[in-house]
Structure 1
Amino acid sequence: MLEGIGVETVAVDPRSAEVGANFDWLTSVGARLSWVETQPSTGRAIAVLSASTGLTGYSVPGGSVGSSLHAYGGMPHLFAPSGALVAVDAATGRLITPFGHTGDDGFTYGDLAGCGDEMLAVREHERGDQLVALDRASGELRVLLTTDGFLASPRFHEGRLAWTRWTNDVMPWDSCEIWIANYTPGQDLSRPRRLAGGPTESAIQPCWGIDGTLYFMSDRSGWWNLYRWRNGPVEAVAPMSAECATAPWESGYTNFALLPAGQVVMTVQSGPEQQLLVVERDGASRVIQTPYTSTKPYIAATGNRVAFIGASPTRAPEIAVATTDGSDKIEIIRRSTTRVEEPAASTPELHRVSTGGGTTITVLLYPPSPVEGRLPPLIVRPHAGPTYHSEFRLDREVQFFTSRGFAVAEVDYRGSTGYGRTFRKALDGNWGRFDVEDCRNAALHLIASGRVCPDAVFISGASAGGYTALKAVCEDGPFALAVARSAIIDPERWRTTAPRFQRPHATILASATSPVVAAAVRQQVLLVHGAADQVAPVDDADELATALRQRGLLAGLVRFDGVGHYLSGSAQQVALDAELATYRKALLDLGIVMPA
């Protein structure tokens, strides 16, 4: 039963977004576009609806639009063709509708999708997931499907409903199924059946074409590629040795869009770089030439054009629309205000480095800007996840350090996405080993090539990357200090403290031979942690800080009250300043003075 008040309108600057604004969850609403936009000045995230007359912003009363479905989120807003909004309150997980909100029912909502006169959503409880339908006219909420595992991506088209599901002992990028059923809004599901996916296949992102063909991504070939089905065998649309989907950390990703003329536009990732590809009806394909190297997994068709959120090492994320007729014209829909006094960005060099495992990893090296004429200190940054990849786009944290004389190396270690299923799964059972080996080899490669100072090499990671950083200083060289932010510290304990979604991840990744970090660390460590972290409990950081302090190895503990797993705004800046001060002290101890 719904109760209370609904969404509220908020002011939106029609010229540009604020400095540091971010854009997510882009989708189309008829001829219009909508997205979620952060407002750094208020700390809020709002839903924005564009039209020829301008922009309209909406938010939940006193809060932000956002979802923590499955810990990391799912599509948190849905505009009806009329413009009416249903959204999720980021703070409570409740569904906010024109009729009111869902109250304190114990569920977290997300993954909103349209369904004729209804709206579909996934809601989560500690006991499992439910697929629910909300009647747009009456506000009645009905449960369509219940599981003790996970559900995502409900998609409806003319009497059929598709969705994904996976069991509670796997991750969706390892094993995920696509199901379909007959469905009439207002009634129950009938004849549910599995279409794709299984124990060794991740099938994700179902999407119906206007002719009733179901498109989806599957890694059955070893790469996430596009497939389609229509009352017959499943067939590949554009087979290639490249990754065409993003690991489903959040529910509702869309790495492709179906255009009215039968074309498909999709992202294609080879290593860290992403491109947009148009696939014609006859299977021919071509790249859309854009100035972007990174595209978020929210692709939306708007007529015969495609809308997306693109970025590059010199451009912050912006919402753009591209033509698909071969002219490759780009229209910028929304970008943040830029500061004219910002220094020139350091752009990355791509390095291929051999590992101890006989494979090759990719390293993005950002030289200091400007170059001081001497070998710079190096910060190696293993990405978070760990089932993810280094972003090939402008990163304010990287630029913070390169503009102060440091070189920064981002490492796509074994286990990263963008390199196929085999590479992605190489870290299973080897977390804290292969990732550390690859980060060490990346640093040694840059030292041997004469690019960085061999005595001033540091490692810094967040979340899962924080665990990699900690493990890297549990052995000798080349790292003189580690920074661990929002770090997972004890993988064995994390199997019980991790969010429900990620508990299988901890089991799959864990190495049976991993020693306890507190007793094995050999170098100084700076710990940065939010006291309200729901992914990596702060108690683990406090215990590690105590143990390191007793051993004289604690460089510092920065603890933020009321801050969760992700640092932003003032907390992020305080953390960066503390990290910089820690590096400078370590360098002074080595007799190296960095410029102010």
Structure 2
Amino acid sequence: MNDRELQDFDNDLCQAALPADGLSDLRANQAGAFWLAADPTTGRRRLWHWVNDRARPLTPPELDVTSRVNGYGGGAHAYLDGTVIFVADDTQRLYRQSLTGAEPHLWWSLPDTRYGGLTADPRRQRLLAVEEQGSARKATQRLVALSDNERIVLSEEADFHGAPALSPNGQRLAWVEWAFPHMPWQRAHLVIADLDPGGRILHRQTWDGGGAVTQPCFSGDGKLVVISDHCGWWQPYRIEGGRAYPLGKHPADHVPTPWQLGECHHLWPDRHTGLLLRFRQGAAQTVQVDGLGRDHHRLLSDATRVIGLATAEGWLYAITQGPSHAARLARVDLSTGHQQTLHAQPTPVDAPSPTYISAPLPDDEHVTAFVYLPDATDGALPPLIMRVHGGPTAACYPVFDPLIRWWTRQGYAVADLNPRGSGNFGRAFRERLAGQWGRLDVEDAIAMADELIARRLVDPGRLFLRGQSAGGFTVLNTLASTRRFCAGASLYGVTDAQRLASMTHRFESKYLDWLLGDDRARQEASPINRLNDFSAPIIFFQGSLDAVVLPDQTLSMARALRQRQITAEVVVFPDEGHGIRHPSNRQRLIARELAFFTAQGGTVS
């Protein structure tokens, strides 16, 4: 890979892959549309504004707008009375800035405190937010209301709080709560509160469907709609009088797994209109329905991933990705269906096309992947890079990814795997991983490799595996379980589940109990305890500031493998945490990874 190719590749990568690397956190109102976009030269997220038919950056380039509540943030900005309020990444303080372009000023700050899920309360000139205070392991959370000179605690009974939703008349507030040991997609309930004129809670009630609730949303006429999976799928329900009324009957997920605060994937502008997602074979469709959830028609037909929805003055705004387009901000006139692209990251014309492939498993189960093949192979079967997403309840999507394009241009086939436990395929599929992490996901990687070999799509002697975070855990356990793969890449992957459980941040501190079980099960599933089972070369990528997978875990694993004469390279990024964000570091990562696979038997065209 020459320097020019690497620079061109990195420009694509920084602008178009995942929400954290492209566009995210969309809001819209009478003042226009607001969203976050990563700066391609620094990796920092800047707040942008669409107004008067043009896009302009609002926040200074040296500021990174990011919430760190729960470790994954979300809802890092809100519009209030001609200003935007946002969270600065380095301090987690709240800043306020006029839309006229004035410099931001510090608005609210408490020691060792983080904010996320920001929601404006314009009638009372205040901001609603999830406030997290204390160290990563011992933090406490509450729902608060902040104004220029007052802080009101609205709720602090639960271990965790979701972003609040305010009714149009400002008289009702709704949010989601959950408690240890659950994650928000396992067990969470809805809270509905009446507010007095001053914005304090008069009384509250809860609704618990027996599953998980997410994304409460008030319609334009004041009806409360939530997404609940108590019937097996993330589906919309209208909540009235303590009862839930389904809006539509489609057996499909309508939102992705809720890892972040303040996400929005369904809207109900008025009593006659709903706008929501529907997943089909892992791809998101955007549909417009009537007030009862019955289909009208599909919108944004070329989009297969929707990162956020917002409405304002008859327009639907959406940040989307698709097989033929990178992250973009588009809007649709809901009265005419006319669509406009407002802000888009560049997409090459030769974007590879995904193919949905399902591989059979025992007991009538299946694992799926989106597979991308190189354009030319000179008649030979191509080598394969199988990619495992993090989470492990996240998901991969059939969208343009510059990294996949780069690999296919080098002659590799790519399989983006959705193993059991992934989101977007229903509650049963997502919960299938309970107590089985490190086993079922390994079986799925092997089954998909076998399927691609049986279909004569890839060279059985040149299979490679890579994964990040939880996906790295799957990579390492797969390499310890089979000789099918020539080599693997672990990007800040879990090596020691027992240590991770004792040291990771509060949000996920009980998650491994559900994924793996007791101490013995964690030890048996940890790659660091399976050293005698490894034979394939491995390359590790690790941020020195990572607070989720500590650097010592990766370094210890690599040292132990080298003592057994197993090739184990380590690339450490001194200024990175759990994820590699800076463009120059991405360039270095991709160059080293490709060189490593090539040295282990892959080919470069």
Alpha-carbon deviation of 1:436?
A: 0.6
Match of 1:551 in 2: 564
CA distance in 2, matches of 1:96, 1:74: 16
Can you list the C-alpha shifts for 1:351-400, whole angstroms capped at 9, x where unaligned?
11101353012111110133332111111111111001112211122112
The equivalent residue for 1:122 is 130
TM-score (norm 2): 0.89
**3-state SS, counterpart of residue 299 of structure 1:** strand
**1:262 and 1:457, CA in 2 relative to 1: closer, same or farther beyond 3 A?**
same
Residues 189-588 of structure 1 correspond to what in structure 2 (within 5 A)? Answer: 189-198=201-210, 201-231=211-241, 233-260=243-270, 262-325=272-335, 328-338=337-347, 344-510=350-516, 512-513=520-521, 514-518=524-528, 519=531, 520-568=533-581, 569-587=583-601
Q: Structure 2: which amino acid aligns with 1:296?
A: V
* CA deviation profile, 1:507-528 (whole Å, cap 9, x unmatched): 2111554344132323211111
Q: Distance in 1 between matches of 2:158 and 2:215?
A: 21
CA distance in 2, matches of 1:372, 1:328: 45
Q: Is the 8 A contact 2:497 2:526 kept in 1?
A: no
**Structure 1: how far apart are the matches of 2:419 and 2:246?**
29
Q: What stretches of structure 1 move > 4 A for 4+ residues in a row?
A: 17-21
Distance 1:197 1:416, change over 3 A: same
Aligned residues of 1:224 and 1:243 also touching (Cα < 8 A): yes
- Partners of 1:90 and 1:391 lie apart in 2 by 28
Q: How much does 1:29 deviate?
A: 1.9
- CA displacement at 1:289 relative to structure 2: 4.4
- Structure 1 residue 286, shift from structure 2 partner: 3.1
Instruction: Name the amino acid aligned to 2:562.
Output: R
Contact 1:354 1:361 in 2 (8 A): yes
Query: How far apart are 1:261 and its partner, in Å?
Result: 5.6
Q: Which amino acid aligns with 2:288?
A: V
For residues 151 and 197 of structure 2, the distance between their equivalents in structure 1, rounded to whole angstroms, comes to: 12
Verify: 1:78 aligned to 2:91, yes or no. Answer: no
| Deviation digits for residues 265-300 of structure 1 (CA, Å, limit 9, x no counterpart) | 001112321101111135431332434332334111
Cα deviation, residue 555, structure 1: 3.5
Aligned to 2:91: 92
Shift of 1:556: 1.0
493-502 vs 513-522, greater mean Cα deviation = 513-522
1:32 shift after superposition: 1.4
Matched AA of 2:396? S
1:474–1:517 contact (8 Å) kept in structure 2: yes
Matches of 1:374 and 1:270, distance apart in 2: 33
What is the distance in 1 between the residues matched to 2:478 and 2:181?
29
- The 1:347–1:61 alpha-carbon spacing in structure 2 relative to 1, beyond 3 Å, is closer
Unaligned runs of 5+ in 1: 1-16
Contact 2:317 2:331 in 1 (8 A): yes
| AA matched with 1:272 | G
Aligned partners of 1:305, 1:156: CA distance in 2, in Å?
Answer: 20
Instruction: State how 1:100-111 maps to structure 2 within 5 Å.
Output: 100-111=106-117
What letter corresponds to residue 585 of structure 2 in structure 1?
A
Is 1:36 the counterpart of 2:36? The answer is yes
* Secondary structure at the counterpart of residue 427 of structure 1: coil
Report what 2:164 is aligned to.
Answer: 154
| Secondary structure in 2 matching 1:24 | strand
- Which residue is equivalent to 1:13? none
| TM-score, structure 1 normalization | 0.91
Deviation at 1:535, TM superposition (A): 1.7
How far has the Cα of 1:232 moved from its partner?
A: 5.3
The 8 Å contact of residues 288 and 324 in structure 1, kept in 2 or not, is answered as: no
For 2:525 and 2:440, locate their aligned partners in 1 and report how far apart those are by CA, in whole Å: 15
Give CA-to-partner distance per residue, 1:558-594, whole Å, 9 cap, x none.
110010111131212211111111111111xxxx7x2
Q: Which amino acid aligns with 2:303?
A: T
C-alpha distance in structure 1 between counterparts of 2:447 and 2:272, whole Å: 46
For 2:412, give the aligned amino acid.
F
User: Quick check: 1:486–1:529 contact (8 Å CA) kept in 2?
Assistant: yes
CA shift in 2, pair 1:185/1:553, >3 Å:
farther
Q: Is the 8 A contact 1:277 1:286 kept in 2?
A: yes
Report the Cα distance in structure 1 between the residues aligned to 2:277 and 2:270, rounded to whole angstroms. Answer: 18
Residue aligning to 1:9: none
Let me know the Cα RMSD of the aligned residues: 2.1
Q: SS at 1:584's partner residue?
A: helix
CA 1:551–1:308: 2 relative to 1, 3 Å: same
CA gap of 1:537–1:147, structure 2 versus 1, over 3 A, is farther
Query: Within 2, Cα distance between the matches of 1:578 and 1:330?
Result: 41
Displacement of 1:447 after TM fit?
0.9
Deviation at 1:481, TM superposition (A): 1.1
Larger CA deviation: 292-301 vs 71-80:
292-301
Counterparts of residues 58-77 of structure 1 (less than 5 Å): 58-59=58-59, 62-77=62-77
Q: In the superposition, relative to structure 1, how do residues 185 and 530 fare at CA in structure 2: closer, same or farther (>3 Å)?
A: farther
Label 1:251 to 1:54 Cα distance change in 2 as closer, same or farther (>3 A). same
Local SS of the residue matching 2:509: helix
Listed one character per residue, the Cα deviations across residues 26-81 of structure 1 (whole Å, up to 9, x for unaligned) are 1112251111111112332111122116334222683211111110012000112x
Give the aligned residue type for 2:128: L
Worse-matched range after superposition: 471-480 or 139-148? 139-148
Structure 1 contact 177–203 (Cα < 8 Å) conserved: yes
In structure 1, C-alpha distance between the alignment counterparts of 2:395 and 2:428, rounded to whole Å: 15
Q: In the TM superposition, what is the alpha-carbon distance from 1:91 to its structure 2 partner?
A: 1.6
State the alpha-carbon separation in 2 of the partners of residues 483 and 286 from structure 1. Answer: 45
Secondary structure, aligned partner of 2:364? coil
Residue 515 to residue 361, structure 1, CA distance change in 2 (3 Å): closer
Residues 19 and 67 from structure 1, CA distance in 2 versus in 1: closer, same or farther, beyond 3 angstroms?
A: closer
Counterpart of 1:362, as a letter, is T
Tell me the SS of whatever aligns to 1:296.
strand
Deviation at 1:231, TM superposition (A): 3.0
Could you tell me whether the CA contact under 8 Å between 2:598 and 2:604 is conserved in 1?
Answer: no
CA change 1:372–1:343 in 2 (3 A) is farther
324 and 370 in structure 1: CA distance in 2 versus 1, 3 angstrom threshold? farther
Shifted more, 484-493 versus 39-48: the winner is 39-48
Higher relative contact order (CA 8 A, sep 6+): 2
Aligned equivalent of 2:145, options 133, 149, 163: 133
Per-residue deviation, 1:162: 0.8
Q: CA separation of 1:437/1:59 partners in 2, compared to 1, >3 Å: closer, same or farther?
A: same
* Contact persistence 2:274–2:293 (CA under 8 A): no
Quote how far apart the aligned CAs of 1:331 are: 0.6
For residues 141-178 of structure 1, give each alpha carbon's deviation from its aligned partner in whole angstroms, at most 9, with x where no partner exists.
Answer: 22222145100121122321111110021100001111
